[in-house]
Structure 1
Amino acid sequence: MIVKKRIRCLLLCCLAWAAGSGSTTAQRYDVAAFYWPAYHYEPRSGFLFPDKKGEWEIIYKARPKEEGHMQPKVPLWGYENEADPRVMDRKIKTAVAHGVNTFIFDWYWYEGQPFLESCINNGFLKANRGRMKFYLMWANHDATSYWDARNPRKDSVIWKGGVSRAEFDKITDRLISRYFKNPSYYKINGEPVFCIYELQTLINGLGGPVATKAALDDFRRKTKAAGFPGLHLQGILWSALPASISGVPGDKIQTQDKVLTYFGFKTITNYCWAHLQRPSGDYEKWADASTAMWSGFDHDFSIPYLPNVTIGWDPNPRYPFKAGYITNPAPEKFAKYLEKAKAYLDAHPGQPQIVTINAWNEWSEGSYLEPDTVHKLGYLEVLKRIFPAHPATTIK
């Protein structure tokens, strides 16, 4: 498995260098920050956020749950509307100036239509003008009362995340025409990158692994028909990535690696360390335990693992009771794990040189690069020091 992985990584590297970056300077690393597009008015979620400011509402209403609890988190820029291109312009300028050259937008589809797209369509795409790249992570989980700070139960389902094949085809047509064809959409070897959050939910909705593979194969076919050499599927590595699937002809599929290979995924990353280690206590202990798992990922998977660095974790704005949270996060501590991610990429020169960050703006989960009133631009400054600013690359 390791030999095959090295061969595949070397091929990716050769293709990338042969094609060139399309810019005058060589691309060394891409820094891709997950972006949670919930800080604008979305009519469908108005029953959750009646102030019409999106999830900012629970941020400015947050209070400490115990002595020493650092809530509320206060954005230095205020509670801005991200769907306004003037607001997004400052986000883009700041991101690019500090080394973040790619946003990975959480993207949603519920009950036959997109959800929270205004941030991308009205904010980012109107403001960007080619300054940074972006791609989408389909956050295809159920929409639950987790988003409702007033509700002590967090598991009641508002909208289901699974989709039928007819819905899947509608989704993929939209992705290709509206996003993949945008010049700023992030590509590896010319292939648009599309990340899927919950593979098991996708399988359940489409009616099993064989039907899911057929749907993904058709997605690839349509992407090629649109003029691209292929589709780069990216998986999120956590418990929602199944470790086995049944009912597939041929070899038994009993590892997460074989599941990913069967469906044709090409890279994996994490969304956040809260999916790897229980979020409680000191930041460095949590970070050490999470990043110690990278060597296991490297051994267990035949496709490249893209290291993820998480800034912190405190989802208490979403809860009426005290939830577990990480204490003592700080920019210089974050820097230590950025260095570790850089070292990982340097040790894997044949794979895409991408580090993912949680997150640009997960204010409601206490993990954000955007400046607050405590650290100002501290997190962005250490990121700029370790991953100097440069244009994002689309490897064509």
Structure 2
Amino acid sequence: MPRRIRILVSQCARFLYRRLPLSLPVKWRIKSFLYRHLGLLLKNSANYQQWLIQTGTIRPSSANTPGSAATPSQSRLEIGFGNLVPSKDLPTPTTDLTRLIAFYLPQYHPIPENDRWWGKGFTEWTNVTKAVPNFTGHNQPRLPTDLGFYDLRVPEVRDEQATLARQYGIHGFCYYHYWFAGKRLLNRPLDEVVQSGHPDFPFCICWANENWSRRWDGLHSEILIAQQHSDADDLNFIQSLEPALRDRRYIRINDRPLLLVYRIGLLPDPGRTAGIWRRYCQEAGLGDPYLAAVQSFGATEDPRDFNFDAAVEFPPHALAVLTEKPRRMLNPNFKGMFYDYTATAEVFMNRPAVPYPMFRTAMPSWDNTPRRQDTGEIFLNATPEVYERWLRQLVALSRQHHPEPERLVFINAWNEWAEGNYLEPDRTFGHRYLEATRNALRH
């Protein structure tokens, strides 16, 4: 079969697979059935080779990674994309110019819309504090220490966050930005950062361009507020960001303001939208924006095909190693999924270079049962030590493959407490994840 046809067939298959309205285990069974019966046709593909590894047919060179709780015969790999190669520890220089950018959630202050949809006084802490353990040893609820149950309307809180982040090697925050055809939500913290000039800490913006629904995952359910797209709205959006993009603290790459979009696949015409943004920024004297597409929900397309400049990796989306549920379950109604953090980190570290610019991302941990108590997704065996190794390798790869101005590594996230995904100090680990972040830069 000619190479171009093979590539086209592969892309179509991945597109259809990602959009199947099925659970991960069902998708896995479908994939396994196809690989078992079509192995001769697929034997040269990297995904087929990785399937052999995960089903125990062959062993990977990294199968004996210290601290890994899952063996190939016990774990399964949900592969949305990408080819894998054996991992290796990369030598890194002692002098570091890598910029670590942590995704930042602003939902820590009440707004009228959340009061109406979720109850008076709702913030992210509402979900965090009501979480309960689903199994023996389950680290829930996860509660903060140094910063407490903060309110982002308080300037001193934002100052303390920036001080803490800077102390442990974080270069800046990437604020999630919520825009719905001119309607902004959760915008007060960033607005006040821009207007006040404090804290003196770098930042950029990621447009979280999903509908808001009752599901907390951006998928279609009961829609609370929807996106509405038009050329006029694209122009209004970029105009609204001008004060932030002009700010001296705004993160730039080669003097170009960095702007992320969480799901470019939801834009009717991403290339057209990007063109409108570029024209406005250039005419306004802001320079050509550096547009980055977040690889959420398994998106793998070359961003340059859509007039974007680069992609941003986004674990745990796309690749996650399934594992068995704990033996001592406390919640008989739990129907969620369990993954192995160590094995998942190994998979992400093993990803080869892609044929387009991409910034890598590490994830401290993940457990979104505060948002979905009975149907959450939990990554077992997450530790600061494994996270440090993951981040250290991504920093090394960035040094190896990117010139200094483009040497960015993202962290998902600074403060996603209801997803168990944060660097801020808590009662279980204290400052250990922050210390791991600083250590990853030093080695």
TM normalised by structure 1 equals 0.78
Aligned to 2:224: 158
For residue 421 of structure 2, the aligned residue among 367, 373, 377 is 367
Say which of 29, 33, 45 aligns to 2:102.
Answer: 33
Matches of 1:35 and 1:237 in 2, distance apart? Answer: 17
Task: Provide the secondary structure at the position in 1 that maps to 2:215.
Answer: helix
Q: Which has the larger radius of gyration?
A: 2
Q: Distance in 1 between matches of 2:99 and 2:109?
A: 27
**Aligned residue number for residue 176 of structure 2:** 106
SS in 2 for 1:128: coil
3-state DSSP of counterpart to 1:32 = strand
Contact map agreement 1:49 1:55 (CA 8 A) in 2: no
Residue 238 of structure 2 corresponds to 172
Q: Is the 8 A contact 1:273 1:287 kept in 2?
A: no
Contact 1:233/1:266 (<8 A) preserved: yes
Identity of matched residues, %: 25
Change (3 A) 1:123 1:41: farther
| Alpha-carbon distance, 1:165 to partner | 2.0
Q: Give the length in aligned residue pairs.
A: 331
CA contact (8 A) 1:140 1:162 kept: no
Task: Name the aligned partner's letter for residue 386 of structure 1.
Answer: A
Establish whether residue 319 from structure 1 lines up as the match of residue 372 from structure 2. yes
Superposition deviation, residue 38 in structure 1: 0.5
Matched, 1:146 2:215: yes
Q: Equivalent residues in 2 for 1:376-391 (5 A)?
A: 376-387=430-441
Q: Once the 2 structures are TM-superposed, how far is the Cα of residue 124 of structure 1 from its aligned partner? A: 7.1
Tell me by how many angstroms 1:229 deviates: 2.9
CA distances 1:56-91 after superposition (whole Å, capped 9, x unpaired): 111111111222221101011321101211111110
Residues 56 and 79, structure 1, Cα contact 8 Å, conserved in 2: yes
CA contact (8 A) 2:367 2:377 kept: yes
- Deviation readout 1:213-242 (Å, 9 max, x if unpaired): 33321211110122133111001124464x
Q: Partner amino acid for 1:283?
A: Y
Correspondence list, 1:1-396, <5 A: 28-76=97-145, 77-122=147-192, 126=196, 128-130=198-200, 132-147=201-216, 155-176=221-242, 178-203=243-268, 209=269, 212-239=270-297, 241=299, 256-257=301-302, 260-277=303-320, 280-293=338-351, 295=352, 298-299=353-354, 301-302=355-356, 304-350=357-403, 352-387=406-441
TM-aligned CA distance change 1:105 to 1:383, over 3 Å = same
Q: Distance in 1 between matches of 2:247 and 2:193?
A: 15
Alpha-carbon distance in 1 for matches of 2:271, 2:377: 38
Preserved contact between residue 310 and residue 359 of structure 1 (Cα < 8 Å): yes
Shift in Å, 1:119 = 1.9
- CA shift, 1:127, in A, is 6.5
Q: How much does 1:50 deviate?
A: 2.8
Quick check: 2:304–2:310 contact (8 Å CA) kept in 1?
A: no
In the alignment, residue 161 of structure 1 is paired with which amino acid? Q
Contact 1:142 1:160 in 2 (8 A): yes
User: How far apart in 2 are the matches of 1:124 and 1:67?
Assistant: 45
Change (3 A) 1:111 1:267: closer
Cα 1:43–1:173 shift into 2, 3 Å: same
CA distance in 2, matches of 1:95, 1:349: 23
Which aligned runs of 4 or more in structure 1 are off by greater than 4 angstroms?
A: none
For residues 129 and 123 of structure 1, do their structure 2 counterparts lie closer, same or farther at Cα, with a shift above 3 Å needed?
A: closer
Distance 1:192 1:27 in 2: 22
Q: Is the 8 A contact 1:51 1:57 kept in 2?
A: no
- Give CA deviations for 1:260-319 in whole Å, capped at 9, x if unaligned: 2232211211233234326633210121123322x0xx23x32x2111001111110111
Deviations 1:70-123 (A, max 9, x none): 110101132110121111111010001110111001111125311111121235
Higher RCO (C-alpha 8 Å, min separation 6): 1
Deviations 1:178-207 (Å, cap 9, x if unpaired)? 21011111111111110011111112xxxx
Amino acid of the structure 2 residue aligned with 1:360: W
Once residues 388 and 440 of structure 2 are traced to their aligned partners in structure 1, the CA distance between those partners, rounded to angstroms, is 8
Closer, same or farther in 2 for the Cα pair 1:88/1:124, shift >3 Å? Answer: farther
CA distance in 2, matches of 1:356, 1:186: 13
Q: Cα offset for 1:171?
A: 0.8
Q: Name the CA distance, whole Å, in 2 between partners of 1:291 and 1:157.
A: 36
Mapped partners of 2:272, 2:210: distance in 1: 21
Supply the distance in 1 between the matched residues of 2:125 and 2:193 (Cα, whole angstroms). Answer: 17
Secondary structure, counterpart of 1:325 in structure 2: strand
SS of the equivalent of 1:356 reads: strand
- Which whole-Å CA distance do the structure 1 matches of 2:197 and 2:239 have between them? 24
1:273 is paired with a residue whose SS is coil
Change over 3 Å in CA distance of 1:27–1:278 after alignment to 2: closer
Counterpart secondary structure, 1:91: helix
Q: Which runs of 5 or more structure 1 residues have no equivalent in the other structure?
A: 1-25, 204-208, 244-255, 389-396
Between stretches 47-56 and 217-226, larger displacement belongs to 47-56
- Assess if the C-alpha contact under 8 Å between 1:190 and 1:228 holds in 2: no
Structure 2 portions without partners, runs of 5+ = 1-94, 323-337
SS state at 1:318 partner:
coil
TM-score by structure 2 length? 0.70
- 3-state SS of 1:34 partner: strand
Check the 8 A contact 1:89/1:127 in 2, yes or no. no
RMSD: 2.3
What SS does structure 2 have at the residue aligned with 1:274? coil
Equivalent pair of 1:269/1:306 in contact (CA under 8 Å): yes
Q: 1:93 to 1:161 in 2, by over 3 A?
A: same
Measure how far apart 1:155 and its partner are.
Answer: 2.5
Deviations, residues 6-50 of structure 1 (Å, cap 9, x unaligned): xxxxxxxxxxxxxxxxxxxx9711000000111111121113443
Secondary structure of 1:158's match?
strand
State the partner residue of 2:40.
none
